[in-house]
Structure 1
Amino acid sequence: MRTPTPTDLSSITALKARFGARYRWLLLMAVMVGTMASIMSSTIINVAIPDMSHHFSLGQGRAQWVSSGFMVAMTASMLTTPWLLGRYGYRRTYVGCMLLLMGGGIVGGLASQFGLVLAARVAEGLAAGVVQPIPAIIIMRAFEPHEQGRASGLFGMGVVLAPALGPSIGGVLVDLFGWRSIFFMVVPLCLLSLWMAYRYVLVTAPGGSAANRNGDMIDWRGLLLAAFGTLCLLNGMVALHGEGSNPLQAAVLLGAALAALAVFIGWQRRMAATQRMPLMNLALFRNRQFSMGSVVGFIYGTALFGSTYLLPVYMQLGLNLSASHAGTVLLPAGLVLAATIAFVGRLADKQPTWLLVTIGLGLLALSFALMVTINLGSALWLLAGLATLGRIGLGFILPSLTLGSLRPLHKDLMAQGVSAISFIRMLGGAIGVSLCGIVLEWRLATHGDSLANATSSPARLAAFNESFLMLAALCVIAMVAATQLRETPPAPVHKD
């Protein structure tokens, strides 16, 4: 009798035999832990930016790269997920990312130079980018359509607890132990995820096929073009603001980003025409729902990540709250978000996803617009209430947008579709962080104030308010695109 191999023991068939029908939920839970660690590493840093800026004597532009550098790395690496899964399988890809994420947290926490901190953040971003599309791929391939909403809701509820609890715990840690402590928060989650990976995560590639180490090489040219274009875009936006702003340099960099985009599209078309695996399958965008979902995802990413950067800065430098107070204000909003996602996930199995996404974007826009009512004398409960309203909106969007965009795709395109829409959403997020910094600095200058001043003022609050109104306007634009996520009814079949 043949001795079972590790591949045999970790196949879908073996997991079904060992754990029964619940194996899919155990698999989803295993990758949820790692995704929580990656999301926590992306958001928790925001409450430490003022303290870190003071430690390294950083200006607003350089401090912003702690968030933006992570976002650039995460955005580019998302495109590699389908290739990595096909070549190395779920488990090897996932374990490698967890080790890189944990290493980045340890190095960042021990670093004595800002350059090393930034390098650690880039390493964390690379790992987070590869990991984050994996749960959606599993949901779309392993779960039946009538279960996908519930699975997305359960997964989303668990994942949002990381950014919900992270800033609150991180704010306390920053106040007690300084900014270094927040880097080490991901280590326990990474260790737990490694244990669960060896117990529950498949070694196979998506679809149940064996990982093919002898398959096509990754599209390095496409990856370099994507990374180069993203870097030029972000650097071009950074060059638009700050004391050392350089409009000419910004124009050159933004022009290079557009050129890289054009070359990238041409190269991907050539890869597909020659029967090679492109980094991004452009055939995906022939589907109207996927295309509109990508537009919504881009704008939504800009608003979401821009506000994730802007809110802690607003509370600390605009409302003069401590880091721990800023985190505590966001805690109830995060808990409500988790509950909303679980509820909306079940709705997504029964209700039109375009309607849920539109409702969510409307609530998010309203929460941003109402921020203009906050002033230095406002009660904390009012600020917490507006943050909660926005998180309810997010709860409607998160499980619905991905399902509405991906359901029309063939299963063989699912990994590419998840990777592409995740890339587009995170590209919007990377732009959103810089865009909020640019708009905030522009409006501060217009009102005659600066974040370098020791105390806040009505002029500073006006600048923040106008930045929030910009985010509200973006959400309204996304609502228009979300109406195009309606599923096209199948054509009637005429019998002769």
Structure 2
Amino acid sequence: MEYKTKVAIVYVVGLFMEIMDTTIVNVALPTLARDFGVGTDRIEWVVLGYLLSLAVWIPASGWLGDRFGTKRVFLFALTTFTSASALCGLAGSLDQLIAFRVLQGVGGGMLTPVGAAMLYRAYPLAERARAATAVIGVAVVAPATGPVLGGLIVDTISWRWIFYVNVPLGLTAVVAGAVLLREHREPTAGSFDLAGFLTSAAALTLTVYGLSEGPRRGWTDPVVVTALAVALVAGIVLVWVETHRSAPMLDLSLLGERLFRQSNLVGVATYGGFVGLLFVFPLYLQSLRGFSALDSGLTQIPQAIGVMLSS
């Protein structure tokens, strides 16, 4: 078996597990809320904590892979994600579950960019379109599988198994990666953009926290106003830092390219609507319409088919 095929297999297994996890949890949210005795305003942090952690660590993962080696960082990401999945299943309180989901996001945030870098380095330029096809296939199938599988597990076993299901996949990928992958480091990795990392983390976290707490506390509440104000300041500082650094974590100059800028704006709107619907729809169907977890997952199959056809 060629090395490029080995890289593709390991990466696809890890990518499938990470992407599926973004949707498999959504159908379990009403059950989690009942089990922990909390409302929607608190149970949403099971999803938000994970997504925020992803967003914070994705930009930093490129430098980590270059500095410490892509194989080492990829295996660390897989191990962290798998271990955190097991801990999520063992969580005895909502606070524990949210904390373990944040840890899970650390692994997930590193896994995709570092794995993609390994994949494209392994494939010659002429064959990278073929490698991208495999990645697109997984990116389409995994989120479609999540709601149905999650609903089936919640209704027939326990919500804890939506996290335990990652463990055998993760362990398989870790062992395969340790045996099959080669190490690669970039000698010109440079220094870590700590200021960019901290300001981006603050801006993202405080923005989401303020927007989440606003409807519950009121938009004039001091906590909400302070969170959003500090987030705005952090965002302004982030832009200044990244535009005055020779090797920024976020190369904002790319937004000057018209195609890059427009495609990202469309992507934000599209993905925001897609993920928002995946979050709200199961809550609506189960809490207000009385659907089971499996039935709410099955109702999302037409959407999954549409995504597959459009991809």
TM-score of the superposed pair, with normalisation by structure 2:
0.91
Separation in 1, partners of 2:273, 2:181: 33
1:247 aligns with one of 210, 220, 242: 220
* Residues 239, 247 of structure 1: 8 Å contact kept: no
Q: How far is the alpha carbon of 1:94 from its aligned partner?
A: 0.6
Separation in 1, partners of 2:89, 2:123: 39
1:111 aligns with one of 86, 91, 96: 91
Separation in 2, partners of 1:180, 1:388: 24
Q: Partner residue of 1:310?
A: 280
2:101 aligns with one of 121, 131, 142: 121
1:160–1:193 Cα change, 3 Å: farther
Q: Partner residue of 2:21?
A: 41
Separation in 1, partners of 2:83, 2:35: 22
**SS of equivalent residue, structure 1 residue 241:** helix
2:53 aligns with one of 73, 87, 91: 73
* Residues 193, 248 of structure 2: 8 Å contact kept: yes
Separation in 1, partners of 2:73, 2:274: 27
Q: Partner residue of 1:61?
A: 41
Gaps of 5+ in 1: 1-18, 334-384, 397-496
* Residues 268, 279 of structure 1: 8 Å contact kept: yes
| Letter aligned with residue 256 of structure 1 | V
Alignment of 1:335-346 (within 5 A): none
Separation in 1, partners of 2:224, 2:14: 37
* Residues 173, 181 of structure 1: 8 Å contact kept: yes
Alignment of 1:324-473 (within 5 A): 324-330=294-300, 333=301, 385=302, 387-388=303-304, 390-392=306-308, 395-396=310-311
Q: How far is the alpha carbon of 1:104 from its aligned partner?
A: 0.8
1:303–1:145 Cα change, 3 Å: farther
**SS of equivalent residue, structure 2 residue 287:** helix
Separation in 2, partners of 1:160, 1:76: 23
Gaps of 5+ in 2: none
Q: RMSD between aligned alpha carbons?
A: 2.2
Higher relative CO (CA 8 A, sep ≥ 6), structure 1 or 2?
A: 2
1:247–1:150 Cα change, 3 Å: farther
Q: How far is the alpha carbon of 1:146 from its aligned partner?
A: 5.2
1:99–1:389 Cα change, 3 Å: closer
Report how many aligned residue pairs link the two structures. 310
Q: How far is the alpha carbon of 1:296 from its aligned partner?
A: 2.0
Separation in 2, partners of 1:167, 1:389: 13
1:31 and 2:46 correspond: no
| Letter aligned with residue 203 of structure 2 | G
What fraction of aligned residue pairs are identical, expressed as a percent? 26
1:256 and 2:267 correspond: no
Separation in 2, partners of 1:293, 1:142: 27
1:281 and 2:251 correspond: yes
1:235 and 2:213 correspond: no
1:328-359 residue CA offsets vs partner (Å, 9 max, x unmatched):
333xx3xxxxxxxxxxxxxxxxxxxxxxxxxx
| Letter aligned with residue 311 of structure 1 | F
Of 50-59 and 151-160, the range deviating more from structure 2: 151-160
TM-score of the superposed pair, with normalisation by structure 1:
0.59
Q: How far is the alpha carbon of 1:176 from its aligned partner?
A: 2.5
| Letter aligned with residue 237 of structure 1 | L
Q: Partner residue of 1:271?
A: 245
Q: Which has the larger radius of gyration?
A: 1
Q: How far is the alpha carbon of 1:53 from its aligned partner?
A: 0.5
Q: How far is the alpha carbon of 1:262 from its aligned partner?
A: 0.8
